[in-house]
Structure 1
């Protein structure tokens, strides 16, 4: 049986903060692997991904290629439509019953958990690892007991990088070097992504 951490998101683009978050969870929570699952259409974001799913998938694959514990999975991209975590958890449980899965989420999402689609069913399938970010404290005491019992909170190193900031920097012609893996920077610049 493997303990698998799930990093979901649009990864539009993937950046160093995502990778540090994944490595922190891997190291601190006794996980065997981290599976990055790019979403097709995320339910809790106002903005839809700006870059095609195949390019986002390839950027993730390129970004994690040198870490044997990281893997990219196209489950949600193949499924299409709205990417609900519960549907992904059901499919992962069916395909990989030998593994235990934990969703890795930022502290900005911990307090949203009660609003997640079919959260009671989701909590019966997976646990959660909440990465507490500086300036965004988690408030687990306000969560229902059935969620709190499946949630571990760990401190996340302070990394002030976001995909939104990276897209804005590209649009303004500013450097994103060292904010994203070099392969991702080359993809963004080579394809002129996020320039408008």
Structure 2
């Protein structure tokens, strides 16, 4: 199985995440893309985190109905910080006959030399880099050359989508609509559970039907 692995905080998941997963699936001819929310990122403090279980459910709602995607709670079952190398090793042990493709943005790929055990990461998975505006490919390739195996990275074109989880959270706090930024099922869950400050002032974040 050619398995794409897209990890992240998904705080919350948005259409940019799904577009990236789709482009990797199509262009790298994957059989499946696993969306894996992190529990405790080792190098990042989560802003406005509603908790890992809410983020997991938001991912499930975002991917619902699309057989190309599967959401995994693999990292949420750990109490320790989430390291990519541990996730890849566990996937190799549990998914038989798998060829793993680790899907990342160019900005993330440039930081690979500073990851925990980056050489082992690249021995377990092919790095699949979304080639989009913002980070020159030459900068990405220069960073990858610092890690043995980095030359095997695959690049795939990715349309520029100016949506981020930070932007979505900001709009929710202001009571602004986020329809067409995140799937409708995600909006409904956020409103119902009053996550990210949504609904606290009686404002609906979804545009009226």
* TM-score bracket, shorter-length normalisation: over 0.9
User: 2:205 aligns to what?
Assistant: none
Indicate yes or no: 2:145 matched with 1:141: no
1:74 aligned partner: 73
* Pairing of 1:52-91 with structure 2 (within 5 A): 52-91=51-90
Structure 2 unaligned spans of 5+: 199-209
Supply the distance in 1 between the matched residues of 2:58 and 2:23 (Cα, whole angstroms).
21
- The residue that corresponds to 2:202 in the other structure is none
Specify the alignment match of 1:24 in structure 2: 23
Task: State the TM-score, normalizing by the size of structure 2.
Answer: 0.89
Runs of 4+ in 1 over 4 A off after TM superposition: none
Q: Distance in 1 between matches of 2:47 and 2:86?
A: 19
Given that 1:61 and 1:72 are in contact with CA atoms closer than 8 Å, whether structure 2 keeps it comes out as: yes
| Greater displacement, 69-78 / 88-97 | 88-97
* SS of aligned partner of 2:2: strand
Greater relative CO (CA pairs within 8 A, separation 6+): 1
RMSD: 1.5
- 1:180 and 2:182 are equivalent in the alignment: yes
1:14 & 1:194 partners in 2: Cα distance? 13
- TM-score w.r.t. the length of structure 1 is 0.94
Q: For residues 174 and 48 of structure 1, what CA distance do their matches in structure 2 show?
A: 19
Contact preservation (8 Å) 2:4, 2:32:
yes
**Could you tell me how far apart the structure 2 residues matched to 1:81 and 1:50 are?**
17
Task: Name the CA distance, whole Å, in 2 between partners of 1:6 and 1:59.
Answer: 17
Larger CA deviation: 13-22 vs 61-70: 61-70
